[in-house]
Structure 1
Amino acid sequence: MTTHPHDRIPGPPATPPGAGDVAQIAGRLDRIPPNRFHLRLAGLLGTGTFFDGFDAISIAVVLSMIVTYFEISIAEAGLIISAGYLGQLVGALVIGALSERIGRRRAFVFCLVTFGILSLLAAFSWSSTSLLIFRLLQGIGLGAEVPVAATLMNEYLSTRKRGRIGMLYQSLFAWGLFFPPLVTLILLGAVGPGSTWRWLFAIGAIPAAVGIYAWFRLPESARWLAGKGRAAEADALVSQVEDISRQRGDVLEEPVAVVQPAAQEFRPAEIFHGVYRSRTFMLWSSWFLASFINYGCAVWLPTLYIRLGGANPSLALVLTAAIGAITVACTMLASVVIDRFGRRKLLITSFAIMLVGALIGAVGVGMFAWATLPVLIAAGAVIGVGAPLAMGPLWIYTAELYPTRMRSWRPRPRAR
């Protein structure tokens, strides 16, 4: 059996004692400032994360067109959306856990190829049922890509820079949410509403090609390699990152070993025991609330602009893109303040802002039936400010509260 070069990275003939164990690897990585290795890693992982956001939200911006094309009800359209998020839950659970065994790189590649190919198949859907099935299967790749990619990125970042750099990386997901409305506007003028949704899904197939490229170019997590006893490979990878820093003149301090509990096989039930129990329930509650508000808003607002607000499709897309721009801007802002402000304070602030936005929508539309479109715009804009202040920090905070062997699994309960 042949071994892939990026699975087995050749190390020096003799690895210095302890240089490749988990504690030493963590300590060595923790004192390396961001360099071009991290930039290349973020570029490759970020491309996948960008298209994860792109594919996840594409169904929302063309939902009204799909309803018209297949002559289905809003309730049936809701089932199609829910099927995609059910697939995401399965993917986060199954592929996340599998990545602890097969590695981050292989899991990431699988996710990209899966959701890319399924997006292309969705473009050729012949009925609402076939679209539902394709979105369900596509969700498996979508649901696991972001946590696997974020884990791999975080495991190469110094804890001192993880907040800022991690948030900048996560902003690529926000950019992925921003572009589909603009692309849809262009497609509407080029191919008309009957084919726009098919072309948008076809564009979402690009990650399959990115996944093939990543198979050859993406490095495995050095921390994961060390945890699996592959010390020479972990040492070789970290030495590569160190050499890049030294070549540009960085003076690296002596590494301080980051002592961790003795390595053991990860058992999913472990997140409900000991010190991890309270962390798990706190994080799951936070993920549930953030997802319920953020994705509920992102997925349904374009349709609500049309159905309740009376906006035409083009205006609805412009409004959706505008809120996407707010989300991107606030994600960038969060990257500036997260290390100074702290994860917890930023999360509390974000939930307070999202609560205000949700109340505007619930009171203005649900209780008093005020001018619907302006109220929907106001609610969406406020939630667009609060959501990125929660979603980005949650990825980083979650990774920091679990050890390496648990990080890719950590499923988030999603409410759609």
Structure 2
Amino acid sequence: MSQELTRNQRLDRLPVTGKHRRLLLGSGIGWALDAMDVGLISFIMAALAVHWGLTPTQTSWLGSVGFVGMALGATFGGLLADRIGRRQVFAITLLVYGLATGASALATGLGVLIALRFIVGIGLGAELPVASTLVSEFAPRRIRGRMVVLLEAFWAVGWIAAAMIGAFVVTADDNGWRWALALGMVPTLYAIYVRKGLPESVRFLEDKGRHEEAEQVVSSFEAQVDPAELERLDAAEHDHLRLAPREDFEDATSIWERRLRRRTAGLWIVWFCVNLSYYGAFIWIPSLLVADGFSLVRSFQFTLIITLAQLPGYAVAAWLIEVWGRRSTLATFLLGSAASALFFGTASTELTIIVAGCLLSFFNLGAWGALYAIGPELYPSPVRGAGTGAAAGFGRIASIIAPLVVPPILAFGGSIALFGLFSAAFLVAAGAALTLPEQRGKVLDA
């Protein structure tokens, strides 16, 4: 009976197998390495402000230039993934930013370091939407959103690793930041595994007419399920296909055509506002704590504690996304982020700083998980990489702006004005999230 179903439907009806778990872990490790690299720059900014005597403006450019690269990488990485494959782009981007990060450890001046951070950003920006698209296209339909949120949870693992490196390596001596960047070369080696160990997207292979390869990939997943169980799943899938809502956009050629433009606009607004608030806050938190009079070591320890709250945020989002749905979960976590940002802006004691920071981590990173889950589901296979990549690329414009606007806003209105801006951006994102279609349980491809 399985031959009556398309390959995509055969993947959709499977339970979670060992190959699914290996795909999630393999993609997640790459995701965590990305997060570690992004997180490290926040600690290096604070350290170099002390060791090199950087001005707030110079520090801002060091934080922003990587996001310029990420904007370009996200946009063109998604387009490239639709042309040469998700797995290929995943491996290439790991190689690019791993080598550039390692080279950054040898930088002798701010100009060289900024140039290398731009190259790092290109690799980072291209990798993130490609990895989420790959996992989304393999995940069983019943837990597709949950698997993408679990992938996003590896971001917290990487950021925690960055916080630990910041607390124990960057602060070790004046050259600690160089050793921290040297550790960023790990993705270079991991790229070899990605190229050989992860499967290529079946949807991509079919779009390119590589049907024999696509069949081999699907069969390898089915081989891990008992044949009698497959028969039962086939019958259940046929029943589901008769009743399930679906979207037939297989002939779509642009993310801005009439049927898709509203969701594209809504997704871009969410990406922009979340990037503005997240990177404006978290890239600067270590430096803001130092400016408030805390020592470098103490501020890094606070940041590590705050970062740990990301993990339960992802866990709750992963559960709710299949219970409430994508849209409601995303909007709820964005509203929680808005309230937490206001709380952090008014926090003045060690206890309130930590509590407010933990709440901001919890809600903001839960929102990120839901956002990455909903993005690939909004588009059909031929433009899925382009859709997720373009949204991420547009969002990176905000991440470029965010570190640059922090110093003048702090000078003008202090922390209350700064985190009030971030809170307002989260509220706008929540409104935009409610305009997106709910995709839970829908059949995405024929």
Amino acid at match of 1:346: T
Amino acid at match of 1:162: R
Counterpart of 1:120?
102
Of 281, 285, 298 in structure 1, the residue corresponding to residue 282 of structure 2 is 298
Q: Does 1:397 align with 2:374?
A: yes
* Superposed displacement of residue 377, structure 1: 3.6
* Superposed displacement of residue 213, structure 1: 2.1
Give the SS at the match of 2:385.
coil
Amino acid at match of 2:187: P
* Superposed displacement of residue 372, structure 1: 6.5
Contact 1:223 1:404 in 2 (8 A): yes
Q: Does 1:359 align with 2:342?
A: yes
Contact 1:311 1:373 in 2 (8 A): no
Counterpart of 2:269?
285
C-alpha distance in 2 between matches for 1:259 and 1:18: 22
Counterpart of 1:322?
305
C-alpha distance in 2 between matches for 1:374 and 1:17: 58
Counterpart of 1:385?
362
Amino acid at match of 1:42: L
Deviation string 1:341-369 (CA, Å, 9 cap, x unpaired) is 1111111111111111222344x2xxxxx
C-alpha distance in 2 between matches for 1:90 and 1:129: 20
* Superposed displacement of residue 68, structure 1: 2.6
Q: Does 1:205 align with 2:182?
A: no
Q: Does 1:348 align with 2:331?
A: yes
Q: Does 1:151 align with 2:128?
A: no
Q: Does 1:312 align with 2:306?
A: no
Counterpart of 1:234?
214
Deviation string 1:243-272 (CA, Å, 9 cap, x unpaired) is 1122796653245578844456x4xxx222
Counterpart of 1:179?
161
When residues 64 and 216 of structure 1 are mapped into structure 2, their CA distance, relative to the original with a 3 A threshold, is same
Counterpart of 1:34?
16
Q: % of aligned pairs identical?
A: 29
Q: Does 1:60 align with 2:42?
A: yes
Contact 1:360 1:378 in 2 (8 A): no
Counterpart of 1:215?
195
Amino acid at match of 1:302: P
* Superposed displacement of residue 135, structure 1: 0.4
Unaligned 5+ residue runs, structure 1?
1-15, 365-369
**TM-score normalised by length of structure 1:** 0.87
C-alpha distance in 2 between matches for 1:203 and 1:390: 29
Contact 2:32 2:154 in 1 (8 A): yes
Unaligned 5+ residue runs, structure 2?
400-446
When residues 141 and 248 of structure 1 are mapped into structure 2, their CA distance, relative to the original with a 3 A threshold, is farther
Counterpart of 1:252?
233
Amino acid at match of 1:77: T
Counterpart of 2:418?
none
Contact 2:149 2:369 in 1 (8 A): yes
* Superposed displacement of residue 64, structure 1: 1.6
Deviation string 1:357-401 (CA, Å, 9 cap, x unpaired) is 222344x2xxxxx73755544442221121122101111111111
Counterpart of 2:119?
137
Give the SS at the match of 1:387.
helix
* Superposed displacement of residue 71, structure 1: 2.5
**TM-score normalised by length of structure 2:** 0.81
* Superposed displacement of residue 165, structure 1: 2.0
Count of aligned positions: 385
Moved more, 299-308 or 351-360: 351-360
C-alpha distance in 2 between matches for 1:406 and 1:60: 34
Give the SS at the match of 2:255.
helix
Q: Tell me how large the CA RMSD over aligned residues is.
A: 2.2
